[in-house]
Amino acid sequence: MAEVADGSVVDARYSVRGRIGSGGMADVYLADDEHLGRQVALKVLHRRFARDQQFVERFRREASAAAGLQHPNVVSVYDRGEHDGTYYIAMENLPGRTLRELLRQEAPLSQERAINFGIQILNAAGFAHKRGVVHRDFKPHNVIVAVDDSLKVTDFGIARAGASEMTETGSIMGTAQYLSPEQAQGKPVDHRSDLYSIGIMLYEMLAGRVPFTGDSAVAIALKHVNDVPQPLSQLRPDIHPVLEAAVMRAIAKDPAHRYQSADEFIAALEEARSAIRAGGGGYTEGWAPVAPPEEEGRKRWPWLVLLLFLLLGGAALAYLLTRPDQVKVPNEVGREAPQAAAQLVNVGLRPEIVRVKSFRPIGIVVSQDPTAGKTVEKSSTVKLRVSNGPGLTSVPDVTGKPLDQAIKILKKQGLFANTSFEHSSDVSRGLVISTTPVALSQVPVGSRVQVVVSSGPELVAVPDVVGKQESVARSTLEDAGFKVSSVKQDSTQPKGQVISESPSAGVKVAKGTRVTINVSRGTPQVSVPDVTGKSTADATNALKAAGFSVTVTEISGNASEAGKVIRQSPSGGSKENKGSNVTIFVGKKGKKKGKKNGGGTTTPTGP
């Protein structure tokens, strides 16, 4: 489609600044609402769809569905209309980045941050579901993340209100990686389809990847229908089992096996958060082998048996010719080391503990040799490799670097970034201001480093000081954080009054920006030229050149004064305001019948 040009005005109201996004159905532009004085995001339907009544209906439905969803986690829709052969929606313009951009930079997220994001998205979904609206296209691209980690859901472009089905039979809407199995099969969907998509988003937040990928949308859709997702614990060993269970239930194939409402899903996430904070789930900070009470007895019985064998002679020989007992090695991976060692002892095996670096919690068995299920002789040694944590690394110095580069540097050190933004007049927008812990600190591998990024200088609206006295205007601007320069100029406005300012009032600029105010010097006074004795034309030209307007009044005089200035008011040499009027009295060139010395004829002229 042809783009909406920068600077063009849509529907005599929205002045377009530039395109800020594009989707399958529409382009999104940043625009100024000239009626209400605010910035909006203007979604304009692609013209190739404008003649398709189905697409137009879907686009209109987005506006009506979203306009009825006034919620802190839902993007507000202000207006809709037609423009230049297509249709538009005006909605809230949000600072921040999409969840897709955040995950690309920071995934996997910490468990509590993922829970926080999930609950906010579910709050938006639940609010819509209670009003009969199914979003049908939940994905990270449609979630905006503010600098304080608050979220808003946008793009109700394929939301379905009520029970009416407006898509073609079998058509698949939405991004394939987040489709529910019923969407992938083109079946009717309800609110539980949204819960599945949100579950996939949570899976990605925690694992750093979606559960199903493929070479085409069809291949991915088929996996949603047929394949079982890999357990989160295999991709992220530190995940709490309660949280893993909550997410895996949300992405069950059968809608009846999922949560039946957003509120139920939220309750499960809150339970997981409580379990994480309580330190539940069977994980410990460290471990020490614990011998069962009967261990000492176990240590003595081989000697007693040996003595018995020596005494019995033939019986001992018979035993030596008998094959030793065989046992199956139990699975100890994922268990705490003390319990794993005790179980091996109980089945007649000897545990050997080897500490290894691992991202699994300290004290958890990460592997074993022989593997589980293998048959071995009793008293055989089973080597248990137990996590000793990931080891330590130094926090690199990333101050002054672009965020993307800083994240890459941290990842090379085995660290992850949590980002926050704050205004700075000293550090350019997009560069790192500081980190916590600070550079060169020793932290465990896999730790998260808080990275503070500059969002540039704080933008402040220029106060309106036109009409104020210079001293008041200067104080107002300086109190708002601006530098002030003043320029004096002639004006008909009272002396000392601000005539104009640049940048103009209301424009948002960085604190510390210099604002120039133009201050009236008042109306200047100039000397009135003495034009007595001059011809009318010469006198008029001289007065106009000095900045005065001229009124010519003819009066009677003697013959030598005809056509010349006899007198003037104000008189020559006096000081008058520039632009004021000077009247010249010029002798008449002829006599009028019936009068000897009558009044004059007045003719005004401009300056």
- Catalytic site positions: 137
Do 564 and 535 contact (CB within 8 A), yes or no?
A: yes
Q: Is 250 exposed, middle or buried (0-12, 13-18, 19+ CB in 10 A)?
A: buried
Helix (H, G, I), strand (E, B) or coil at 78: strand
403 membership: H or E segment, kind and range? helix 403-412
Q: Which of 123, 66, 60, 128 is nearest to 92 (CA)?
A: 66
Q: How would you label 525-561 residue by residue, b for 16+ Cβ within 10 Å and e otherwise?
A: eeebbebeebebeebbebbeebebbbbbbbbbbeeeb
Please state, in angstroms and rounded to a whole number, the distance separating the CA atoms of residues 313 and 179.
74
User: In sequence order, which ranges of 130-252 are alpha helices (DSSP H)?
Assistant: 181-184, 191-207, 217-226, 232-235, 241-250
Residue 573 phi, psi dihedral angles, 5° rounding: 95, -15
Please state, in angstroms and rounded to a whole number, the distance separating the CA atoms of residues 398 and 410.
8
Please state, in angstroms and rounded to a whole number, the distance separating the CA atoms of residues 344 and 368.
11
Sole residue written with tokens 């009717």: 188
User: In sequence order, which ranges of 227-294 are alpha helices (DSSP H)?
Assistant: 232-235, 241-250, 262-278
Q: Is 447 exposed, middle or buried (0-12, 13-18, 19+ CB in 10 A)?
A: middle
| Sign of the C-alpha dihedral computed for residues 534, 535, 538 and 542 taken in this order | positive
Do 500 and 465 contact (CB within 8 A), yes or no?
A: no
| Sign of the C-alpha dihedral computed for residues 472, 475, 478 and 479 taken in this order | negative
| Sign of the C-alpha dihedral computed for residues 342, 347, 352 and 356 taken in this order | negative
User: What token pair was written down for 188?
Assistant: 């009717």
For β-strands 97-98 and 143-145, DSSP reports them as antiparallel
Do 410 and 449 contact (CB within 8 A), yes or no?
A: yes
Strand runs (DSSP E) across 357-414, as ranges?
365-369, 375-377, 381-387, 392-394
Q: What string of DSSP letters covers 114-160?
A: HHHHHHHHHHHHHHHHTTTEE-----GGGEEE-TTS-EEE---TT-E
Do 189 and 159 contact (CB within 8 A), yes or no?
A: no
Query: Alpha-carbon Rg of the chain, whole angstroms?
Result: 42
Please state, in angstroms and rounded to a whole number, the distance separating the CA atoms of residues 553 and 350.
129
Whether the upstream peptide bond of residue 108 has omega within 30° of 0, thus cis, is: yes
